[in-house]
Structure 1
Amino acid sequence: MVSWVETTLSFTENVLNNFRTDQISNLVKSDDTILRFGAFLFEKYNTTQAQFKRQSMRQLGRLSLELKNKGDIFKNFSEMLLPEKFDAVVNATKALIKLNITTQQKGQSFKYHHWR
């Protein structure tokens, strides 16, 4: 069994250090809930599928950023999981999906088929 310290170092080297530097990655790296989600994926898939892990974390970062851009104030991602925030999260997700359909951005992480 691999220790948490080894997992953390390996997670940092293989996932966090390979993010491109932008607003979303800065948000992802500063949010404990998103980091824990990424660490969970890392433990599940270990060093394989690094791009999938980064992309999954960026999805959550984009959602968080969209909510902040709409004026919703959250300290961290875990606050978005509260039942009273459900409508705001759904609206932000719809906005991200609409952005993807409108701009036809390749690689945009919120695609319709993810939510069927």
Structure 2
Amino acid sequence: MHETALMESVLAILEESARKNGINKITKVKLKVGELTNALPEALELAFEAAKGDLLTKNAVLEIEQVKAYFRCQSCEKIFSLESPGFYCTFCHSRYVKIISGDELLIDYYEGE
């Protein structure tokens, strides 16, 4: 389950940022998780609860925003979502596509005292 390793990294980043900013307690964390990351929100929530322990995030609430994957075709310039298997344009069927969202896993923000 790679969600555990991901969440341990997120918590380490949060702790470092909080200490640098004089925050003693984190109360809320919001993550943006793209559908292409293969990170399951439910598994991230479980990993967050298991990993937060006695850290600054002990009583923090986790919010996860799922980000849909969108692509831009490099041939016809159309933007489309992943509706069928394979990475090809749903308009012109070109395989020259660029991911424009959906591959991110990032800390959107956190709140603390």
The alignment's TM-score, normalised by the length of structure 2, stands at 0.28
The alignment's TM-score, normalised by the length of structure 1, stands at 0.27
| Higher-RCO chain (CA-CA 8 Å, sequence separation at least 6) | 2
Q: Which has the higher helix share?
A: 1
Asked which structure has the greater CA Rg, the reply is 2
Q: Which has the higher strand share?
A: 2
